[in-house]
């Protein structure tokens, strides 16, 4: 009897292990994270929960550039003007509003349930060099979802949220084999399906509305070298409620969580490349439009780079204020690369008097040079030339010819 009981217990254990096989992922691959000092060590799936084991390591003494820790007030960096020396004690907690999402389908969210070894309604003190292992429990991910995002919130007010994008786990679909002994039980299913279809099709159109109700949108993409088409390490920044937030990507892939009802200017920078920016309003986009790849031009001698957002008064060379953001980006590039020298080139279309166009293009190039020198760039590093309508980049309609009215710069020395 004892042997039979022991065998039964052992069989139950084996069955339990077999059932849970494939439901535990150790050190899962994470494509991007907002805070490198927090890592996901393990993801465990049970019948009721998604259990995420995380580890926080306070590395502030070694990496003072992390001026704020997750969920606590900003710690000033001594290198920032007016900053105070960094303190040796910080506070952490986990926001109870944290959710899990399926990438690209933010209406599919899984709620936070509870946490272990980290507070959610108060704060916990941590000292420099401390390691904190903690666990977060969420609703069970639907079987078949083998990639998900862990979203604590948007970093704002000097606080750093813990967000993880592209977490890969083992979560196969449950295979329910047909049971030949119960054909009658399964027969009614096809009869019921037609009646259920109209209800499924009703919410087909309000996909954007569902995204807005979720309160969060995810913008993702990859930053490439425009010449080689290879991914490059980059920094993505944007302003949210008055705070400038930054996401660094060593792989070129990026994901940022945004307010679904907001409007943003996304700025992309990479060392050795001329940066770019674009406007993005999640509420105006479909789910498929939340992907945005960016191509940056490398800073190499002889390279011609278009300044895309330079505007002048009509038929004049007075710069409009809408040009300042783009010109300030060029100022930063020249400050970051003190050996670089450039030639600013002005161009017009070929409509009108040739000599007047030539003179106007030169004056516009000079106006750009003047702006750069007023921002502290040595005039000896900048040459200005006007080419009028002699170097068109397109022909055709009036709309096409507008592209010929442009300002570019050429790197002459680096």
Closest CA to 95 of 149, 160, 44: 160
Closest CA to 73 of 161, 159, 162: 159
Q: What is the pLDDT of residue 354?
A: 87
Closest CA to 253 of 226, 220, 284: 220
Q: What is the pLDDT of residue 377?
A: 94
Is the C-alpha dihedral spanning 122, 128, 130, 131 positive or negative?
A: positive
Q: Identify whether the C-beta of residue 311 lies closer than 8 Å to the C-beta of residue 386.
A: no
What percentage of the chain's residues is helix, strand, coil (to nearest 5)?
25, 35, 40
Q: What is the pLDDT of residue 77?
A: 36
Report residue 361 as tokens: 């293009």
Q: Identify whether the C-beta of residue 292 lies closer than 8 Å to the C-beta of residue 254.
A: no
In the chain, which stretches have pLDDT less than 50? 1, 3-5, 7-8, 12-22, 62-87, 187, 191-214, 288
224: helix, coil or strand? strand
CA gyration radius, the chain: 28
Question: Could you give the domains of the chain?
Answer: 19-168 (2.60.40), 207-298 (2.60.40.10), 300-414 (3.30.1330.60)
Taking the whole predicted model, whether its pTM rises above 0.85 is answered as no
Q: Identify whether the C-beta of residue 208 lies closer than 8 Å to the C-beta of residue 283.
A: yes
| Gap between the Cα atoms of 234 and 246, Å rounded | 10
- pLDDT tens-digit series, residues 48-95: 999 999 999 887 654 444 334 444 433 333 323 333 334 457 888 898
Q: What is the pLDDT of residue 71?
A: 43
15 backbone dihedrals φ, ψ, rounded to 5°? -65, -40
Report residue 112 as tokens: 């936070």
Is the C-alpha dihedral spanning 386, 388, 391, 392 positive or negative?
A: positive
Report residue 44 as tokens: 């465990």
| Gap between the Cα atoms of 22 and 44, Å rounded | 9
Residue 266 forms beta bridges with which residues? Answer: 278
Q: What is the pLDDT of residue 64?
A: 42
Q: What is the pLDDT of residue 285?
A: 65
Q: What order of strands is seen across the sheet that includes strand 406-413?
A: 304-307, 406-413, 341-347, 382-386
């Amino acid at each position: 009897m004892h042997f039979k009981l022991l065998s039964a217990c052992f069989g139950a254990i084996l069955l339990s292990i077999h059932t849970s096989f494939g439901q535990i992922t150790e050190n899962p691959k994470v494509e991007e994270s907002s805070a490198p000092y927090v890592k996901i060590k393990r993801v465990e799936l049970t019948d009721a929960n998604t259990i995420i084991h995380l580890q926080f390591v306070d590395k502030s003494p070694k990496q003072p550039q992390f001026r704020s820790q997750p969920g606590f007030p900003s710690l000033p960096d001594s290198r920032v003007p007016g900053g105070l020396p960094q303190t040796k004690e910080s506070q952490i907690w986990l926001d109870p509003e944290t959710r899990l999402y399926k990438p690209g389908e933010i209406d599919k969210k899984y709620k936070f349930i509870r946490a272990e070894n980290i507070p959610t309604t108060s704060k916990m003190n941590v000292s420099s060099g401390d390691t904190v292992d903690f666990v977060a429990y969420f609703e069970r991910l639907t079987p078949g979802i083998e990639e998900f995002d862990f979203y604590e919130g948007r970093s704002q007010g000097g606080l750093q949220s813990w967000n993880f994008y592209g977490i890969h786990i083992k979560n196969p679909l449950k295979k329910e084999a047909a049971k030949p002994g119960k054909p009658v039980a399964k027969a009614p299913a096809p009869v019921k399906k037609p009646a259920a279809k109209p209800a499924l099709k009703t919410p087909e159109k309000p996909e954007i509305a569902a995204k807005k109700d979720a309160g969060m949108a995810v913008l993702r993409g990859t930053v490439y070298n425009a010449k080689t088409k290879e991914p490059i390490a980059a920094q993505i920044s944007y302003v949210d409620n008055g705070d400038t937030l930054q996401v660094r990507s060593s792989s070129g892939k990026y994901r940022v969580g945004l307010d679904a009802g907001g409007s943003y200017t996304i700025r992309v920078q990479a060392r050795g490349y001329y940066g770019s920016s674009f406007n993005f309003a999640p509420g105006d986009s479909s789910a498929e439009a939340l992907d945005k790849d960016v191509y940056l031009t490398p800073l190499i001698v002889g390279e011609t780079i278009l300044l895309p957002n330079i505007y002048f008064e009509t038929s004049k060379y007075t710069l409009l204020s809408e040009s300042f953001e783009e010109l300030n980006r060029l100022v930063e590039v020249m400050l970051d690369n003190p050996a670089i020298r450039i030639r600013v080139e002005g161009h017009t279309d070929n409509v009108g008097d040739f000599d007047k166009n030539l003179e106007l293009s030169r004056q516009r190039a000079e106006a750009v040079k003047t702006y750069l020198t007023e921002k502290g760039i040595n005039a000896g590093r900048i040459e200005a030339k006007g080419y009028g309508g002699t170097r068109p980049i397109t022909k055709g309609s009036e709309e096409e010819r507008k592209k010929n009215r442009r300002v570019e710069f050429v790197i002459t020395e680096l």
